[in-house]
Amino acid sequence: MLTNYLESQLLNKVEHCYRDAERILNRTFPFPDVLLNQRGKIAGCAHLQKNTLKFHPLLYQQNQEHFLTHVVPHEIAHLLVWQLYGKTAPHGKEWQNIMVGVFNLPPHRTHQYNVDNIGIKTVLYTCGCGELAMTIRRHNKVLKGAIYRCKKCHQDLRMK
């Protein structure tokens, strides 16, 4: 689990980003709830209508500097766009403008963190291309009748 120091670093970054946004955009924004309970392969998530940010504690711990510099502003930009414009495309021009104009960051949509060692359980499936690890969630859907196809060879994936 995260240390108090890491949690305070994250909260300080959120606060700093909000102060910058308020100064640059010349208006105030409601400060969000910040949770460290994101799961799966997602580094962070913004719940717009709840004004909540969720961050993945293990991905943060393993990628602290980059996470604080890129993931935190990325998710905050989603909340700011919601406050400014309402419903828009998730990574549309409004979000991109906030990323560049407020946070001076490239508007990347996804992270490139290694997720091999964050405890996600998988089941091996095969197709014409080879093997693919599917999450337990998708595996359970297959057991209930769902069919997944390979994006490359378009064959049905089958359990190894």
Structural domain boundaries of the chain?
Answer: 4-101, 122-159
Residue 101 to residue 144: CA distance in whole angstroms: 47
Domain 4-101 is classified in which CATH homologous superfamily?
Metalloproteases ("zincins"), catalytic domain (3.30.2010.10)
For 1-154, list the strands marked E by DSSP: 33-35, 44-47, 52-55, 122-126, 131-135
Of the ranges 20-29, 85-94, 113-122, 129-138, which one carries the lowest mean pLDDT score?
Answer: 113-122
- Hey, which residues does 159 pair with through a beta bridge? 125
63 or 110, higher pLDDT: 63
Looking at every residue in the chain, the average pLDDT score rounds to 92
* DSSP-assigned letter for residue 80: H
The answer to whether 128 touches 150, Cβ cutoff 8 Å, is yes
**pLDDT at residue 97 tops 80:** yes
pTM listed for this prediction: 0.79
Find out whether 148 and 134 touch, Cβ atoms under 8 Å.
Answer: yes
Distances (CA, A) of 90 to 9, 20, 59, 65, 85: 26, 21, 22, 24, 12
Q: Which residues are catalytic?
A: 75
